[in-house]
Structure formats: structure tokens, C-alpha cells
Chains A and B, each alone.
Chain A
């Protein structure tokens, strides 16, 4: 019996051992399966990541193609601006945009804003900048203010049939004055040394007392004598004589104005007394130059609006007023155009005194303009002519690439 018991026991142990072995085998199989599973899963992950990357690559390629096309279009846009035909020395799109901006500014602000004023003790001596139309001193007694387009001009005792026949007298400059450099245009005279040839290091001829870069002949004297053939000189002299031996107008870089009066233009010839009989005004405002500097200046003079009220523009056939005003130096070298409304602004001043003293020749004596709603280049010195007109007048700096409107 004991044999049978032992046998059972032995069988039991064997079964147990076999089961353990099977379990071990199963475990090993499962491990193998699991390992394989992990391997397969890892390879699938790599595949899936690759799909994500491929998708990213596809999108990136497409986006870069669009970006390249956009950059191409942008380059074309710049090129279009840059290569557009010039309109008064700047590409036409830029000129059109300046005109558009002027329209927007007129529409939004209507040029009615008043410039802030300052106490007199904040004011300073104004820089001199730009001597166009001022190369010689004007003899004060010979000064007349021409006015053209005045309503019913014949009723005024100052009426003449031809304002252009008036002879202004000039004298060589006694002192050149503190004439400074003008950076609005590049110097054109090849022979002259650019005061900025040192690129601003402060060693240029201007610092050594030489002439400013855009001055023709410095302090009014002729610099060079061009040799001409005798026949040409004779012909030239004959032509000058036929024109009344007058100096040609528009001798500066922008040339002659389109609005320069034709001989035989009727109008008024006002004397200084006619202007100084208007109510005297004083104003302390900030003068702003397009070159980027500004100064608070004490001005004394007469409202342009008062002059316009006294000598009003002639109405058009439809009863409306002309839109513009044109001003010019006596020699026609410098000229500016304005809207009539800008001239009627209460702060637009015919200046006869600066910093409490009479205006100097180099600041535009006997009369210059101050207009705080415009940049300095509109504030013409030595006004010889004020003309009402219905066409947008020529303007010196507009012809050289600057904005006509110049409204602040």
C-alpha cells in the first residue's frame, strides 16, 4: 500500500513539476510575445511620427511657396514705386500719396487749429536758412508789394496797369549775415566743395567761414566769369536789352515759376505804409523746419487775413472766391503757393519784426511770412507779390520733391 501511496506522491510531484515547467514556458512565451509587441509598437510609433513629420513638411513647403510669391509681389511693389516716372522729382506714387494725405488732413482738420503760443522769454533768435531771393540787399525805398487779382482793383489809388514794370533797387550786401547751410537739396555746383563732404565731422568749409552749399556765389558777388564768344555775347546783350535789361527770374535750382507774371499784368503796388496801417499783431509761436529743427520765435507784424480783407480777391463768374494765393520774391527766385483759407488763418502773419527788432535783410525784410500751420519752407521771405489765383500755384520746394501742402 505504501508503494501505491509513494507512487501517487511521485505522480503528484511530477504533475506539480510539469505544471511549474509549463508555467515557466508560458511565462517565457508571454515575455517573448510582450517583447515582440513592444518592438512592433516602437516601429509603429516611428512610422506614425514620420507621418506627422511628413505632414509638417508638406505644410511647410506650401507655406514657403506662398511666402516666396508674397516676397516677389512685395519686391515688385517697391520696384513699381521706385521706377515710377517722377512727378516733380519724386516717384509719382509718392507724390500722389502726399496729395492724398493733404486731402485727408484738410478733410479731418480743415486747417483751423491754432498753434500753441509761448511767453516771449521762451523765444530765441531764428536760424537763417535759405537765402533764395535774398542774394542782394533790397533798397527799402524801392519796395512795393504787388497785389494781383484784387476785386475791382481800379478803385484803389495804388492801381497800375503793369505791376511787373516796377523796378526794385538792389545793393551789394553790406554784411552776409549768419547764413547757414541748407540740407534740403544736394549741392549742385560741381566746382563747389560740399560742406558735408566730411559727412558731418565738422571740418567742412562752412565751418571755416566758407559759403553754404546751396548759395550761388556766396554773398551776392559774381563768382565766375564764363568766357563766351563775342558774337554770342552781343546777341545775349541785345536780348537782355529787349527785355529791359532785367535780370532773368528764377535763378535758383527750381528755376522760374510758372506763375511769374507776364509783362502787362495790372494790379496794385502797395507801399509799406499801406501794410503798416493794418492792426499790428504780435505772436510767439514755434517755427518748424522740415529739416527737423524748431525754434520758438517772437513775431511782430500784420495779419494776412486783414490785408486780404482790405484788398479782397476778385470773385469768379459763378460768384465763388479763387482757391489759392501765390507769393513770390521780387526777383522771382523763390515762390510759394497757398490755399486762400490758409492765408486767412488768424495766425498767418506778415512779419515786419522779429525778436522785437525790425526784420533784417537776411530774414526777409521788409516783409516775410509766418504761418504756423505750415512748415518753414512755406514762410517766404521778402514778399514781392501776392496774387489770387484759381489754379494751384507753383511752389519752389514742391518742384524739388517736397509736399505742396506742407500743413502742420
Chain B
């Protein structure tokens, strides 16, 4: 989903623009003599920024100007304005989120790939009952059967069922454990507050989508995620849960038959499992396109955890902690 953190933010929260951040009583002229080499140290001592929650974010933000000896002494010595960096590092993604995000990528890929190897079994057009479940159609009218022969050939799926089953029933544990840890972390850390859709998210999401489609201008103000992102990322977590539940109901349809029945029966559960997977693929395509459009700064934050943001931008820490 779209994300352009470098865009100026409206209503940037409780922190006012740079001027307000300066210490009210700036050191008098000539009092401070800081050479560029000692900058970071000097900044820490001055501790001009009270909003910085920890040392990692305490990258120099503001510092008093070392005034040179004036040629002509002015009658009213002006207090020199503090100098602030226009940018700062925002701790955007905690390490746990980054690890679980990237672990999920190959695991989900393996689940989809091995799922296709299994699914090929039932996709055999040469016989009488092809794609009984996986089709798009109403009643006896079938619009599409997944997938065309060239697709199966291209991914080298035929007759690799045992491999598919073996990998699917191995990586299902990694997928489930990673997902459970992820949700648990969201709940404990308070990160869920940045992710769960809010009341205004739907309207924001529509606006964001229209902007992305170049149908209108002006992104709504956002903190970590905009409305569209909140909805998409929350939905994909629910889809993961859906895959686990439908998967279990297909895996043990006799022992957990009440789950299978709730899902509409065995074949319906298979259908749901399949279309959830198609949903993941659709999510993946949109996600990658949006990440590419959002640019390097945003992508990097999912690797290093930090994003370069305008110094005036409100910190996410407040949103993380209970409001």
C-alpha cells in the first residue's frame, strides 16, 4: 500500500515546527565553541530535544549556533537560533516485525509452491473429473478452470505430489508458528495500534486508492500506515488465520469435522483454501508494486528498521503506547 513518508505531513502532531523545538534560553554568544568533529557528543550534552525517546533516535537534531566574535558589538546582543537537522531517523519497524516479515516470505512461498504440486493432482484435464473444486463458475457454467496446461509445464508440477505433500506438511508448522508469534508480538508491544483499521480508515483507504490511481490529489494524513495499509495488512493477517483453519479442516476433516462442516464441507474448505492463496498472490503483487513506488527509504525501513523522516514529523512511539 502507498507510503510516502517524505511527503510533508499535515497536522504533524503535538510537536510544532523547528522554531518551537529550540531551547528557550539559548546559550549566549561565544559561550559554546563546538567544532564539527565533536558534534554528536556536544549534541548529547546539550540535549536540546526532549521528544527523543532513546539514544538511537538521538541523532543530532538541534544545536546552538557558535557565534563568531562580531566586528561591531551590537547594543542588544541577539540570542543565536539553534540549528536543527531537517531530518531524523524514525524507528519504524521493530526487529521482531522485520524478522517475522522476512521469515514469512520464503515460508509462504514454499507453502504456495508445494500447494501447487499437490493441486496439480486434481487439475488433470485428461480425465473425467478435472478441477471439480477449483473453478470459477455458476452452476454448470464454468468460466475458468485453474490453471492452463502451459502453467503446469512452466512450474514443472506434474508428478511431484509426494514432494509437495512433504514440504507442505513441514512448512505448515513454520507458517503457523511465525504467524502466532507475529500476532502475539503485535498484541504485547502495542504495535497493533498502528495496524488495526480505525473508524476513518475506510474513507482514507478510498482516498489513498484514488490518489494512487491518479484520480485525485492529496493524501490523507497518516502515521505509520495509511487507511489502505491498515486494512490490507490486517486483512492479510486474517487471511493467514483463514489458511490455517481451512488447512486444518482439509488436513483432518474427520477429526475436526465440525470445523470442516462450519466451513461448508470438505470441498468448500478446499475451495476456500485455494482462493485464500490466490488472495495472498494478489496481495503480494500489489504489495511489491507499492513498495517499489514508495521507494528505497520505505523499503530500507523493513530491513534496517529505520526510516529517514522530516525532523518535524511526529514520532510513532506515542502511537505505540496506549492513548
Contact = CB atoms under 8 A, between A and B. Distances in A.
Interface of A: 26, 29-30, 33, 36-37, 40-41, 44-45, 47-49, 51-53, 55-56, 59-60, 62-64, 67, 70, 74, 81, 89-91, 93-95, 97-98, 101, 105, 108-109, 111, 113-116, 127, 180-181, 183-186, 195-196, 198-204, 206-207, 286, 288, 290-294, 372-373, 400-403, 407-408
Contacts of B304: 56, 59-60, 62-64
B65 to A, nearest CB: 6
B303 A64 contact: yes
B255 A48 contact: no
Contacts of B306: 56, 59-60
Contacts of B284: none
14 contacts: A29-B74, A51-B59, A51-B60, A59-B89, A67-B102, A94-B166, A114-B257, A115-B254, A206-B127, A291-B122, A294-B267, A401-B162, A407-B252, A408-B254
A113 B149 contact: no
B261 interface: yes
B31 to A, nearest CB: 16
B313 interface: no
A47 to B, nearest CB: 6
A378 to B, nearest CB: 12
Interface of B: 36, 39-40, 59-61, 63, 65, 67-68, 70-72, 74, 80-81, 83-89, 102, 106, 118-130, 132-133, 149-150, 152-153, 158-159, 161-163, 165-167, 169-170, 173, 251-257, 260-261, 266-267, 270, 300, 303-306, 308
Contacts of A291: 121-122, 161
B125 A201 contact: yes
A184 B71 CA distance: 92
Contacts of A70: 102
A386 to B, nearest CB: 22
Contacts of B86: 45, 48-49
Contacts, number: 207
Contacts of B133: 292-293
A351 B234 CA distance: 49
B125 to A, nearest CB: 4
Contacts of A195: 126-127
Counting from the closest, the 6 A-B pairs by CB-CB distance are A401-B162, A292-B122, A94-B166, A186-B159, A48-B85, A199-B149
Contacts of B149: 198-201
Contacts of A63: 303-305
Contacts of A59: 89, 304-306
A408 to B, nearest CB: 4
Given A45-B85, A286-B266, A206 B36 contact: no
B60 A48 contact: yes
B308 A400 contact: no
A45 B74 CA distance: 26
A37 B89 contact: no
B74 A109 contact: no
Contacts of B153: 199
Nearest to A110: B255
Given A60-B304, A116-B261, A33 B70 contact: yes
Contact of B252 (A47, A49, A408): A408
Contacts of B85: 45, 48-49, 51-52
